[in-house]
Amino acid sequence: MSSIPLYLVRHGEAEAHWGQSADPGLSKLGHRQADDCARELAPRLGPGTALFSSPLARALQTAEPLARRMGVDVSVSESFREIPAPVPLSERRDWLRGFMREAWTGQPDSLLNWRQRLLEALHATSTPSVIFTHFLVINAVVGHSQGSERTLSFWPDNASVTEIQLADGQLTLRALGRAMETVVN
């Protein structure tokens, strides 16, 4: 019985919040957070560890320092993209606030399918991996691993690392990442 460690890294601080830009890059602080994360995470990773990222700029930019340090490429996967808000950009922050008080039960098919694709991608992982992703992606995985239907399980900080283990077809929480002290962006 082998287990595969999966490290879910929330992107560093974005230069714009969720309601201002569909795809902001990292702020100056976000770049420093990405560098710090790479420095702390690299010694814990073995040879053959794969790097994956959401296609969004803030996740890709967070992945860059670790990819350089390890000398490996980052594979981009739509499965690790932030949840698709079913509202216009100007209404996303309000939608997000409401969504985080809800449960997965009763969500529209588009959101349930997003969550299912995410979980399927993680279950298909065959090697230790670091996945650069987003706040609600991490929450969906943590909630699933704990058997919770709540959409919000905890508040992962920017550039925090949540550890999940895949063994015998099950995703198990090993350690939550650092709790958030910044705003959701």
The reported pLDDT for the residue numbered 1 is: 53
The per-residue pLDDT string of the chain (185 residues; one tens digit each, 9 = 90 and over) reads: 589 999 999 999 999 876 677 899 999 999 999 999 999 999 999 999 999 999 999 999 999 999 999 999 999 999 999 999 999 988 988 999 999 999 999 999 999 999 999 999 999 999 999 999 999 999 999 999 999 999 999 999 999 999 999 999 999 999 999 998 655 55
pTM across the whole model: 0.94
- Please classify residue 69 by burial: count the beta carbons closer than 10 Å to its beta carbon, then call 0-12 exposed, 13-18 middle and 19+ buried: middle
- How far apart, in whole angstroms, are the C-alpha atoms of residue 68 and residue 36? 13
The reported pLDDT for the residue numbered 74 is: 98
The reported pLDDT for the residue numbered 170 is: 96
The reported pLDDT for the residue numbered 79 is: 98
Range 3-175: architecture per CATH: 3-Layer(aba) Sandwich (3.40)
The reported pLDDT for the residue numbered 17 is: 74
DSSP per-residue codes, the chain: --EEEEEEEEPPPBSS-TTT-SS--B-HHHHHHHHHHHHHHGGGPPTT-EEEE-SSHHHHHHHHHHHHHHT-PEEE-GGGSPP--SS-GGGHHHHHHHHTTSBSTT--HHHHHHHHHHHHHHHT--S-EEEEE-HHHHHHHHHHHTT--BS----BPTT-EEEEEEETTEEEEEEPPPBP-S---
From the list 122, 129, 159, 171, the residue with the least C-alpha distance to 44 is: 129
The reported pLDDT for the residue numbered 18 is: 66
The reported pLDDT for the residue numbered 2 is: 84
Q: Are 9 and 159 in contact (CB under 8 A)?
A: yes
- How far apart, in whole angstroms, are the C-alpha atoms of residue 22 and residue 173? 30
The reported pLDDT for the residue numbered 184 is: 52
Q: Which amino acid is at 168?
A: D
